[in-house]
């Protein structure tokens, strides 16, 4: 699954540098995560680095976009090809 940013986002930019897949972009008024490239940090870290970086805990699992560990690993491998 991918993660999603809630309306509580204060647009502080703290989650952008730690994201290994460059999946987080600034939108108006809040930041958004590209579910096509977010691996939930599978392949990169034990826990999502964006979640750890967010000061207001507004990044959560997107229950409407569930993906298996296998699919997330495939996305990770694809990210290494670029
Ligand atoms: S979970 Fe990982 S890959 Fe997905 S947006 Fe957060 S930092 Fe980026
Ligand atoms: S770290 Fe949290 S509050 Fe800051 S831009 Fe990212 S999602 Fe928004």
Name which residue sits closest to atom 6 of ligand 1, judged by CA.
Answer: 50
Distance separating alpha carbons of residues 5 and 58, to the nearest angstrom = 6
- Domain containing 50 equals 3-81
Name which residue sits closest to atom 6 of ligand 2, judged by CA.
Answer: 15
pTM above 0.95, yes or no: no
pLDDT of residue 82 exceeding 70, the answer is no
What's the pLDDT band for 1 if we cut at 50, 70, 90?
A: low
Domain CATH code at residue 58: 3.30.70.20
- Domain total in the chain: 1
pLDDT tens for each residue of 47-72: 999 999 999 999 999 898 889 999 99
């Amino acid at each position: 699954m991918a993660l999603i940013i809630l309306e509580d986002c204060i647009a502080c930019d703290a989650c952008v540098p730690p994201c290994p897949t460059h999946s987080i972009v600034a939108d108006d008024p809040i930041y958004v995560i590209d579910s096509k490239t977010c691996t939930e940090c599978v392949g990169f870290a034990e826990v999502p680095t964006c979640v750890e970086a967010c000061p207001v805990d507004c990044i959560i699992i997107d229950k409407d976009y569930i993906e298996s560990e296998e699919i997330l690993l495939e996305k990770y491998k694809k990210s290494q090809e670029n």
